[in-house]
């Protein structure tokens, strides 16, 4: 079991490497950077996954997700500080703005028809949304997100070019669902992404999430934890 301080430092290392290189560090780089044996480095990554800071490729010590970063190509690309990154989902694509504060440009697609979607965010607001009716759709309620976070991020948090395309999509029709604007999605991101690059970052508590969602007016049965 790695100590908490070391876990913090490895977590930050992963995010800094993703930010600098667009890809996560491999296990050998964690071993070298922290003078760890293979088994000890792997144990730290497993602890970080258990603490919901990262997701590993199943059955390996390879980093797949360190939200908002994705190690693999996705339909969600965010350009910021002159670099383009793959995000895990529509929410993550916008969350880069909350994590870094800088202006971002998102290039994605309508999950239904594949039409390009472009969003630009500055100072906490969308300055360009094309097509203008674009929405961020959460097909699964928060209570189910962590049942299989790779599926949740990879398949159920998407953009639609319009409410009509959402309703025609195979993701629509669930009893519990929700659609947010890009601005709402940015606001949603602030508690969980705003301090990601701090050494002592901690995931918000359930109470913090619920209070934040309620303040946003998200108090339907969907937004429960
Ligand atoms: Zn569409």
| Whether the bond into 68 is cis, omega within 30 of 0 | yes
What pLDDT, on the 0 to 100 scale, is given for residue 175? 55
Report the separation in Å between the CA atom of 136 and the middle of ligand 1, taken as the mean of its atom positions: 12
Report the separation in Å between the CA atom of 106 and the middle of ligand 1, taken as the mean of its atom positions: 16
DSSP code at position 124: T
What pLDDT, on the 0 to 100 scale, is given for residue 174? 60
Greater model confidence, 124 or 222: 124
Q: Give the whole-number percent of the chain exceeding pLDDT 90.
A: 86
Q: Which H or E run includes 125?
A: strand 125-130
Question: pLDDT grade, residue 3 (50/70/90)?
Answer: confident
Is the Cβ–Cβ distance between 152 and 167 less than 8 Å? no
Report the separation in Å between the CA atom of 159 and the middle of ligand 1, taken as the mean of its atom positions: 9
What pLDDT, on the 0 to 100 scale, is given for residue 177? 60
pLDDT in tens, 26-48: 999 999 999 999 999 999 999 99
In the predicted structure, residue 173 carries a pLDDT above the cut 80: no
pTM of this prediction exceeds 0.75: yes
pLDDT in tens, 78-108: 999 999 999 999 999 999 999 999 999 999 9
What pLDDT, on the 0 to 100 scale, is given for residue 159? 98
**3 state DSSP class of 85:** strand
């Amino acid at each position: 079991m790695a100590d908490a301080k070391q876990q913090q430092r490895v977590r930050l290392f992963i995010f800094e490497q993703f930010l600098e290189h667009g890809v996560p560090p491999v296990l050998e780089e964690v071993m070298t950077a922290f003078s760890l044996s293979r088994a000890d480095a792997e144990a730290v990554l497993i602890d970080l996954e258990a603490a919901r800071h990262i997701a590993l490729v199943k059955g390996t010590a390879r980093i797949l997700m360190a939200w908002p970063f994705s190690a693999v190509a996705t339909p969600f690309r965010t350009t910021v500080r002159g670099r383009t990154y793959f995000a895990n989902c529509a929410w993550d694509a916008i969350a880069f703005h909350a994590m870094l504060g800088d202006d971002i440009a998102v290039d994605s697609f309508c999950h239904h028809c594949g039409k390009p979607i472009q969003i630009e965010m500055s100072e906490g607001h969308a300055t360009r949304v094309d097509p203008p009716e674009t929405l961020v759709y959460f097909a699964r309620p928060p209570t189910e997100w962590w049942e299989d976070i790779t599926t949740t991020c990879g398949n159920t948090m998407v953009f639609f070019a319009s409410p009509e395309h959402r309703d025609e999509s195979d993701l629509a029709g669930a009893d519990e669902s929700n659609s947010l604007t890009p601005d709402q999605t940015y606001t949603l991101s602030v508690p969980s992404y705003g301090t990601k690059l701090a050494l002592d970052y901690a995931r918000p508590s359930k109470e913090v999430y619920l209070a934040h969602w309620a303040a946003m007016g998200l108090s339907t049965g969907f937004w429960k934890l």
